[in-house]
Amino acid sequence: MASQDWIDKDFYSILGVSKDASQADIKKAYRKLARKYHPDQNAGDAAAEKKFKDITEANSVLSDPEEREQYDAIRAMGSGARFSAGAPGGGASGGASFEDLFGGMFGGGGGGRRTSYSTSGGAGFEDLFAQFGGQGGGTRFGTGAPGGFGGAGGYGGFQGPPAKGEDIHTTTTVPLRSAYNGTTVKLRRGNGQSTTVRVPQGVKDGQRLKVSGKGHSGPGGNGDLFVTIKVQDHPFFARDGQNVTVTVPVTVGEAALGATIEVPTLDGNHVNVRIPAGTSSGRRFRVKEKGFTSGGKTGNMIVTVQIDLPDTLDEKAQEAVTAFAEATESFEPRAGLSEKAAQ
Among the listed residues 135, 88, 138, 95, the one whose alpha carbon sits nearest the alpha carbon of residue 116:
88
- Domain identity same for 138 and 21: yes
Whether residue 82 is predicted with pLDDT greater than 80 in this model: the reply is: no
Q: What integer pLDDT is reported at residue 4 of this predicted model?
A: 53
**Domain at 309, CATH number:** 2.60.260.20
CATH number at 32 reads: 1.10.287.110
Q: Is residue 31 part of a domain?
A: yes
- 100 in a structural domain: no
Regarding whether 312 and 258 lie in a shared domain, the answer is yes
Confidence band (pLDDT; 50, 70, 90) for 162? confident
- pTM, entire model: 0.54
71 and 186 co-located in one domain: no
Same domain? For 24 and 132 the reply is yes
Q: How confident is the model at residue 159 (pLDDT cuts 50, 70, 90)?
A: low
What's the whole-number mean pLDDT along residues 139-164?
Answer: 50
Report the SS3 class of residue 248.
Answer: strand
Pair (285, 261) in one structural domain? yes
Express each pLDDT in 92-135 by its tens digit.
444 444 444 444 444 444 444 343 333 344 444 444 444 444 44
- Mean pLDDT, residues 185-193: 84
Residues spanned by the domain of 265: 238-327
* 220 and 248 part of one domain: no
Stretch among 153-157, 279-283, 292-296, 307-311 having the lowest mean pLDDT: 153-157
303 and 196 in a single domain? The answer is no
Amino acid at 288: K
Last residue of a domain, one of 110, 131, 158: 158
Q: Are residues 217 and 145 in the same domain?
A: no
The domain boundary, picked from 137, 158, 179, lies at: 158
Same domain, 10 and 133: yes
Percentage above 90 pLDDT, the chain: 52
Euclidean distance between CA atoms 23 and 275, whole angstroms: 66
The verdict on residue 90 lying in a domain is no
Is residue 98 included in any domain, yes or no?
no
Residue 336 within a domain? no
**Which residues are registered as beta bridge partners of 331?**
none
Question: What distance in Å separates the CA atoms of residue 82 and residue 144, rounded to the nearest whole number?
Answer: 12
Within a domain: 191: yes
Q: How many domains are contained in the chain?
A: 3
pLDDT of residue 5: 66
Query: Above 80 in pLDDT, residue 334?
Result: yes
pLDDT band of 314, cuts 50, 70, 90: very high
pLDDT bin (cut points 50, 70, 90) of residue 316 is very high
Pair 144, 267 in one domain: no
Tell me, yes or no, whether 317 and 248 share the same domain.
Answer: yes
94 domain-assigned:
no
Q: Tell me how far apart the alpha carbons of residues 14 and 29 are, in angstroms, rounded to a whole number.
A: 10
Residue 111 lies in a domain: no
For residues 281-299, give the mean pLDDT.
95
> How far is CA 256 from each of CA 281, 311, 333, rounded to the nearest angstrom?
11, 19, 14
Same domain, 253 and 313: yes
Host H or E run for residue 245:
strand 243-250
**Residue range 325-341: mean pLDDT, rounded:** 91
How long, in residues, is the chain? 343
Q: Which of 16, 65, 30 is nearest to 216 (CA)?
A: 30
pLDDT averaged over the chain?
80
pLDDT at 146 over 70: no
- Residue 270: pLDDT band (50, 70, 90) is very high
Confidence band of 48 (pLDDT split at 50, 70, 90) = confident
